[in-house]
Amino acid sequence: MSRRIFLGTTTAALAMPAIAGLVGTARAEPRKMTLTAAPTTVSLVGGEWPDTATWAYNGTVPGPEIRVRQGDTVRVVARNNLAEPTTVHWHGIRLPNAMDGVPGVTQDAIPPGEEFLYEFEAIDAGSFWYHPHFNSPEQQGRGLAGALIVEEAEPLAVDRDVTWVLDDWLLRETAQIDDSFGHRGQMSHGGRIGNTVTVNGRIPDVFGVRAGERIRLRLINVANARSFSIDFGDLKPQIIALDGQPVRPHAPSDGSVVVAAAQRVDLVIDMEGKPGDVVQLTDGYYRGRTYEFHKLVYEATPPLRESPLDAPITLAANPLPEPVLDDSAMRQRIVLEGGAMGRFPAGAERFFEQGQFWFVNGLPDKGRKEPLIEIAKGRTCVIELVNQTSWEHPMHLHGFAFRVLTRDGVPNMRKEWLDTVLIRPRQSIEIAFVADSPGDWLFHCHILEHMAAGMSGLVRVA
């Protein structure tokens, strides 16, 4: 891919329009909306590059931002205009099992030409997202993903609430999607890492800001495999939520904001520069491959205010049940093995022919008949996750948020709630959650090629 594909034209990135919900005081229940998955051609790279044939929700990449208020009922008819089955999974939001969108587990896949009604109450506020859970590497890799924003009952006082949906595409020189989905090299290494990054469906370029304004920025990583580490230059972003769940506001630990595949980070940023200033953001997650991300360009207009807005940036906690860490908790060790340069459990080779290279407690997804964990409803589950592979894995649990208790045995002071935790090679991480919602819930790596190649299992709550 030539490097011009990274440059694009000058396009200000705009927030995606919200299609449900209402701004203001008097408000009605959000209406029922339809999300139609269909092949769609969009201008992805811009400039003189040809349009790109994608698969998209409602004709846009990413799909429409769905915005509701905490406590609202989300009502979405998912219509399948693809040539293959699909579903919609609501990533990170707690909902009844039957609405979780996992084919063969919580519902039958929606056949081409048919519909399925998703309906659930948005009990948690925060930044979430949606994507298919059928043929995931390809359906998500061709563009099916969108943001689901649940506003707090009392939203933070900010001047702008902005969503950046981060995505990564593997394009050929014709700006068309490379169709090497399921390629063994991608499956057994770091997943499908692309050559073209987009923010809200556009190549990163210019993002206009105003001196003195306070922005709430929601970063949502919908890439198949890529992680981001955004360096905001002289700005001082404060992290206020991770995976939609509030945390005590803090600066990113090494200055950059890391967002692994499927994760979300909510930031509050005060634009403390002067009119006319330019701040070049960069993404340096992969060593030696740092590239220019958005350029923040201050308008020439006078500052909105002279000193940063004097308003709290701490979000109220969501109503999550607190894990009970005594003898009543169930403790389960989950060991990840396999992949390139990895160790394998005995007998692993018999699964290679089925494209299964990743193993969870000795078996790949296609080789397992039983759930990984069976737990009684209401009990606390503590998982010791052990990564014996040579790769990192953003591990995602459906249906619950979990607290991160320790990393390599060291207590985690922040004890953040996540739904997707990045585990480094040879690391072990302890997480805990209350199994308060009955059903079969997936636990899998969100590098979609790893999930498809075996790194997945079920947690059964009964």
Shortest spacing between CB 383 and ligand C2O, in angstroms: 16
Distance of CA 301 to the CA centre of its chain: 35
CA distance 111 to 84: 7
From 67, 79, 94, 133, residue interacting with ligand C2O (rule: CB under 6 A): 133
Shortest spacing between CB 381 and ligand C2O, in angstroms: 18
Residue list 352-391, contact with ligand C2O (CB under 6 A)? none
Contacts of 57 (CB under 8 A, 6+ apart): 35, 36, 37, 63, 64, 144, 145, 146
Instruction: Please calculate the CA angle 413-417-418 and round it to the nearest 5 degrees.
Output: 120
CB nearer ligand C2O, residue 205 or residue 449: 449
Helix (H), strand (E) at residue 54: strand 52-57
Shortest spacing between CB 396 and ligand C2O, in angstroms: 5
The stretch among 36-44, 356-364, 405-413, 440-448 that binds ligand C2O (CB under 6 A) is 440-448
From 44, 88, 93, 262, residue interacting with ligand C2O (rule: CB under 6 A): 262
CB nearer ligand C2O, residue 210 or residue 446: 446
**Neighbour count for residue 448 (Cβ, 10 Å):** 28
- The alpha carbons of the chain give a radius of gyration, in whole angstroms, of 21
Residue count of the chain: 462
142 binds ligand C2O (CB under 6 A): no
What residue 89 binds from Cu ion, ligand C2O, none (CB within 5 to 8 A, per partner kind)? ligand C2O
From 444, 449, 452, 453, residue interacting with ligand C2O (rule: CB under 6 A): 444
CB nearer ligand C2O, residue 92 or residue 212: 92
264 binds Cu ion (CB under 5 A): no
Shortest spacing between CB 101 and ligand C2O, in angstroms: 8
91 binds ligand C2O (CB under 6 A): yes
Helix (H), strand (E) at residue 141: helix 136-141
Contacts of 246 (CB under 8 A, 6+ apart): 126, 240, 314, 315, 316, 317, 318
Contacts of 413 (CB under 8 A, 6+ apart): none
The stretch among 119-127, 181-189, 271-279, 438-446 that binds ligand C2O (CB under 6 A) is 438-446
User: Taking phi first (over 0 means left), then psi (-120 to 50 degrees means alpha), and beta for anything else, what does residue 141 get?
Assistant: alpha
DSSP state of 323: P
Q: Which of 345, 321, 286 is nearest to 417 (CA)?
A: 321
166 binds Cu ion (CB under 5 A): no
Q: Is the peptide bond before 62 cis (omega within 30 degrees of 0)?
A: yes
CB nearer Cu ion, residue 67 or residue 393: 393
Strand partners, 308: none
From 398, 401, 403, 423, residue interacting with ligand C2O (rule: CB under 6 A): 398
CB 227 within 8 A of CB 423: no
Shortest spacing between CB 107 and Cu ion, in angstroms: 25
Helix (H), strand (E) at residue 238: strand 238-242
The stretch among 40-48, 175-183, 426-434, 441-449 that binds ligand C2O (CB under 6 A) is 441-449
CB nearer ligand C2O, residue 144 or residue 281: 144
CB nearer Cu ion, residue 65 or residue 365: 365
Q: Which of 188, 189, 455 is nearest to 336 (CA)?
A: 455
396 binds ligand C2O (CB under 6 A): yes
Q: In what order do the strands lie in the sheet with 146-151?
A: 66-69, 146-151, 126-131, 89-91
CB nearer ligand C2O, residue 242 or residue 262: 262
From 320, 445, 452, 461, residue interacting with Cu ion (rule: CB under 5 A): 445
**Closest residue to ligand C2O using C-beta atoms:** 91
Shortest spacing between CB 445 and Cu ion, in angstroms: 3
Task: Give the ranges where 189-286 is alpha helix by DSSP (H).
Answer: none
Could you give phi then psi for residue 105, rounded to 5 degrees? -120, -55
Residue list 382-401, contact with Cu ion (CB under 5 A)? 393
CB nearer ligand C2O, residue 256 or residue 263: 263
- Which residues here bind Cu ion, judged by CB under 5 A? 393, 445, 447, 450
- Which residues here bind ligand C2O, judged by CB under 6 A? 89, 91, 131, 133, 262, 396, 398, 442, 444, 446
